Structure 1
Amino acid sequence: MDIAIGSENPVKVSAVERVCPDAETTALAVDSGVPEQPWGREETVRGADNRAAAARSATGADYGVGIEGGVAERDSPPGLWLIMWAAVTDGTTTHFGAGPSIRLPDAVADRLRDGEELGPVLDDELGREALGKQEGAIGVYTGGRVGRTDALADAVAGAVGPFESDAY
């Protein structure tokens, strides 16, 4: 099976390779078609969908995979939450999966609400560099119990499942 991944981010590539270890993968940068900091489930899902379609279209692979992280305001429980979605397409059908979601600290949430992007905010707040290509926000805020690769792999597995499981 050939899989085109709509990102060159090593964490996203590792997540796909973990879920599909026997696949031949090609990672390529594609446009998500959404803002650099997606807001809400709809925008985040659209970014994943756009990445999957663009990756498959550019390569002719069996499947295209798109992964998008975003943030979403919630009333219950309240706060600004980290969200992540994956899309997998064979060119005809697309399936989606979500990863875990965690509430962001108020200081980070306030900066995002003021228009900043999560990656640079986290790097600044935590004195880090390129956290999004490492354990990510989920790794930091779970005390290392869940890393970004783990979380994104869950989303990818949810999106790949309908193609691989007879239960659908």
Structure 2
Amino acid sequence: MHVAIGSENPVKVRALERVVPEAETTALGVESGVPEQPWGRSETVRGARNRADAALAVTDADYGVGIEGGVAERDVPGGLWLVMWAAVTDGTTSHLGAGPSIRLPAAVAQRLRNGEELGPVLDDELGREDIAEQEGAIGVYTAGRVGRADALVDAVAGAFGPFLRASD
């Protein structure tokens, strides 16, 4: 099985490889078609779908995979939440999977509402670099108990599952 992923981010590639360790993977930098900081579930899902479609379109892979992280306002419970989605397509059929979601601190949420992006905000708030390519926001806000790759595995497995399950 050959799988193309629409990202060169090592955390996203690692998540894919954990879900389908038997696959040959190709990582490609493709456009998501959404802003650098996706806002809301529909925009985040659209970015994941666009990445999956683009990765499949430029390769001879059996499947294209897209992973997108974003933020979404929620009424109950209120606040700004981290969201993550994955899409998998074989060119005919597509499936989605979601990762865990976690409420962002008020100070971080306000900076995002003011137009900043989560990765650079976290780097600034914590005095570090490239958190998005390491434990991610989920790792920061769970004190390392759930890393970004762990969270993305759930999203990718949810999206890939319908393609991988045994025939009924």
Interval of TM-score (by shorter of Structure 1 and Structure 2): over 0.9
State the one-letter code of the partner of 1:68. Answer: E
Distance change in 2, residues 1:115/1:167 (3 Å): farther
Q: Distance in 2 between matches of 1:167 and 1:49?
A: 25
Does 2:142 correspond to 1:135?
Answer: no
The alpha-carbon deviation at position 60 of structure 1 amounts to 1.9
Does 2:38 correspond to 1:48?
Answer: no
Partner in structure 1 of residue 22 of structure 2: 22
Q: Distance in 2 between matches of 1:49 and 1:35?
A: 14
Q: Give per-residue Cα distances to partners, 1:91-141, cap 9 Å, x unaligned.
A: 000000000000000000000000000000000001110000000000000
State the one-letter code of the partner of 2:135. Answer: E
Q: Which runs of 5+ in 2 are unaligned?
A: none
The alpha-carbon deviation at position 20 of structure 1 amounts to 0.4
Q: Secondary structure at the match of 2:58?
A: helix
Q: Which runs of 5+ in 1 are unaligned?
A: none
Q: Secondary structure at the match of 1:59?
A: coil
Aligned residues, how many? 168
- 1:48-87 matches, within 5 Å, as 48-87=48-87
Q: CA RMSD in A?
A: 0.9
Paired-residue identity, %: 79
The alpha-carbon deviation at position 167 of structure 1 amounts to 6.9
State the one-letter code of the partner of 1:82. Answer: L
- 1:91-130 matches, within 5 Å, as 91-130=91-130
Q: Distance in 2 between matches of 1:117 and 1:83?
A: 14
Q: Distance in 1 between matches of 2:104 and 2:73?
A: 10
Q: Distance in 1 between matches of 2:4 and 2:166?
A: 23
